Amino acid sequence: MNVDVTTDRFGAPGATRQAVEHVAPGTCKPATCNLPHVAASLLVVVTAVLLAFGALVTTYEAAMAVPDWPGTFGHNMLLFPLAEWLHGPWDLFLEHGHRLLGALVGLLTLMVAGLVWWRGGPPAVGALAIAAVLLVIMQGALGGARVLLDDKTVAKVHACTGPLFFAVAVSLAVLTRAGGRSSASTPRAGWTAAALVVAIYMQLVAGAQLRHVDPSMPPDSFRGLVALHVGGAVVVLVLAFASAAHATTWRSWPVAILVAACMQWLLGLGTWIVSWGLPTGLIPEAWQPDVALRARGGWTAAIVTGHVLLGMLMLGLSVAAAIRAGALDHVASLGHRGDVRRWRRFA
């Protein structure tokens, strides 16, 4: 069948939509595929795997398994022998794997940005694509600096910007999808969903300070940090509950976040116990200024890493839910209204 693909570079005219309806189910002509959405969705999936490797690197304290950067033991990172990577020590597998995945994510980000530029769309989506490129470059440089300087403060920043990049990737995947935004919900539902995104992100930031804690930190500051993270967990739970209660459309998303928040409490408690012993007081009994806090492997590593990853998943879900609830409407319609309508027709 001949498909009329006589569109401008934004793919806007109605002729294309009509042509799409005549394409046989299961087939996808290049000009009618929503390539930016496909690429952005792939970026989300690969970034999730990258975050998992990153979290494992921290859990196993494998950050310095490869002491040089951008190379790996003097090799060009991409040419490091496969057998040595796959059959070498676990720490090397994690750290080098994290770097390879970082390179892949960088490449995919450039591809998404290129496709968004090529296919057009509202300026807000273009701005998000540019933000993704800048963030991925910054994240790679921070990762390199963490190793070269062997610096925990850089590790904390790297741990906070990683989820930020993930949130941008999720936004891109949602906004490039047909009907990705919904304005049918109430302002209250939108604001609650937006507040939940902020609360979860703050929780990730506080968690990262706990995870990369400096053993020389005074006990009082450490106690404050613990209180902040546990207090933040209460706020997240309350907002997740309110978000599920106020949602008028796409209710399954906030409900999924509420379930995840309950599981996160259990994992958080588990993380506390395997890291610091039973929580008999606000300050963990195991806390001594110059004593190593944790020794992990097997189940304990799974609990701690699971807690980190579920936190990132909650952030991704909350970003998607907030956009669905119309909370970020002002971001997506920063540009001319016509641009937004054109993107909707195209996507």
Binding positions for ligand HEM, rule: CB under 6 A: 50-51, 54-55, 57-58, 63, 69, 98-99, 102, 105, 136, 139-140, 143-144, 146-147, 155, 158-159, 162, 165, 200, 203-204, 207-208, 210-211, 229-230, 233, 236, 261, 264-265, 268-269, 271-272, 275, 304, 307-308, 311, 314
Residues contacting 56, CB < 8 A, separation 6+: 62, 94, 301, 305
d(Cα 123, Cα 116) in Å, to the nearest integer?
A: 10
167 or 347, CB closer to ligand HEM? 167
70 or 123, CB closer to ligand HEM? 70
For residue 277, the minimal CB distance to ligand HEM (Å) is 11
For residue 136, the minimal CB distance to ligand HEM (Å) is 5
For residue 113, the minimal CB distance to ligand HEM (Å) is 14
For residue 57, the minimal CB distance to ligand HEM (Å) is 4
Closest CA relative to residue 196, chosen from 318, 327, 317: 318
d(Cα 194, Cα 243) in Å, to the nearest integer?
A: 9
Position closest to ligand HEM via CB: 143
17 or 223, CB closer to ligand HEM? 223
For residue 311, the minimal CB distance to ligand HEM (Å) is 3
For residue 342, the minimal CB distance to ligand HEM (Å) is 31
Residue 20 φ/ψ, nearest 5 degrees: -60, -40
SS (H, E, C) 237-254: HHHHHHHHHHCCCCCHHH
Q: Which residues of 168-202 are buried (b: 16+ CB within 10 A; e: fewer)?
A: bbbbbbbbbbeebbbeebeeebbbbbbbbbebbbe
d(Cα 164, Cα 179) in Å, to the nearest integer?
A: 24
CA 316 to chain CA centroid, Å, is 6
For residue 258, the minimal CB distance to ligand HEM (Å) is 11
81 or 231, CB closer to ligand HEM? 231
Residue 72 φ/ψ, nearest 5 degrees: -120, 110
d(Cα 120, Cα 225) in Å, to the nearest integer?
A: 44
7 or 209, CB closer to ligand HEM? 209
For residue 73, the minimal CB distance to ligand HEM (Å) is 13
131 or 334, CB closer to ligand HEM? 131
Residues contacting 182, CB < 8 A, separation 6+: 249, 250, 324, 325, 326
28 or 259, CB closer to ligand HEM? 259
For residue 51, the minimal CB distance to ligand HEM (Å) is 5
CA 282 to chain CA centroid, Å, is 30
d(Cα 183, Cα 161) in Å, to the nearest integer?
A: 29
DSSP label at residue 72: B
Q: Is cis: bond before 219, omega within 30 of 0?
A: no
d(Cα 144, Cα 154) in Å, to the nearest integer?
A: 10
260 or 347, CB closer to ligand HEM? 260
12 or 92, CB closer to ligand HEM? 92
